Amino acid sequence: MVLFFAFVAAVAVWAVAALTGISPSDQLGRIRAVLCAGAMLLLFATFESIRTTHLKERYALLWILPSLAILALAFFPGALHAVRGYFGMEYGSIMAGVAFLSLLAAVFAISRTISRNEDNIAAVARREACLEEREARLEARVRALEARSGAAGGAGKDPAR
């Protein structure tokens, strides 16, 4: 499986170099190739995790969307130049910003899920405490009924009959 991912990353690097016309010998070409390879690896790892049911689809989107954004910026440098002109940032800074915002979104989504799960756990704990109290009261009533039926002379009889 690792060899397959390495092969896909190599193909992605070749595709970026071939389709965009930037040679891997200049710095921008190397950055784009590495980011493209990383995004491809992340995409394939995400899809593999979904396939083997280790990752749910709603969490997979947190990794698929940023990977696609990075791939789009790698394959379409014109969009990147527009962002670069608007914000006055270099290519590496833009990609680092995209990666940072992606991770920030993932952490936020995971934090929401953790908070929701903590609330659910608290509700289950409250319900379980109520059920334990109810069980204790019912057991006390059963013991009282058994004691009453035993004191009334029906010690040898089944109280349920």
Banded model confidence at residue 161, pLDDT cuts 50, 70, 90: very low
- Interatomic CA distance for residues 43 and 68, integer angstroms: 8
- Please tell me the predicted confidence (pLDDT) of residue 35: 77
pLDDT at 154 over 60: no
Q: Which residue has the higher pLDDT, 3 or 119?
A: 119
Mean pLDDT along residues 20-29: 66
Q: How is 24-62 classified by DSSP, letter by letter?
A: TTSHHHHHHHHHHHHHHHHHHHHHHHHHTTSS-HHHHHH
Give residue limits of the domains in the chain: 2-151
- Interatomic CA distance for residues 108 and 131, integer angstroms: 35
Which residue in the block uniquely carries the two structure tokens 């595709």? 15
Cα dihedral value 51, 56, 60, 61, nearest 10: 130
Banded model confidence at residue 127, pLDDT cuts 50, 70, 90: very high
Q: How many CB atoms lie within 10 A of CB 33?
A: 23
Residues 6+ positions from 154 with CB-CB distance below 8 Å: none
Helix then strand then coil, in percent of the chain rounded to 5, is 85, 0, 15
In the chain, the percentage of residues whose pLDDT exceeds 90 is 19
Highest mean pLDDT among 25-34, 46-55, 81-90, 131-140: 131-140
- Interatomic CA distance for residues 48 and 86, integer angstroms: 37
Q: Which residue has the higher pLDDT, 22 or 114?
A: 114
pTM: 0.56
DSSP at 68: H
Residues 91 and 80: beta-carbon distance below 8 Å: yes
Banded model confidence at residue 123, pLDDT cuts 50, 70, 90: very high
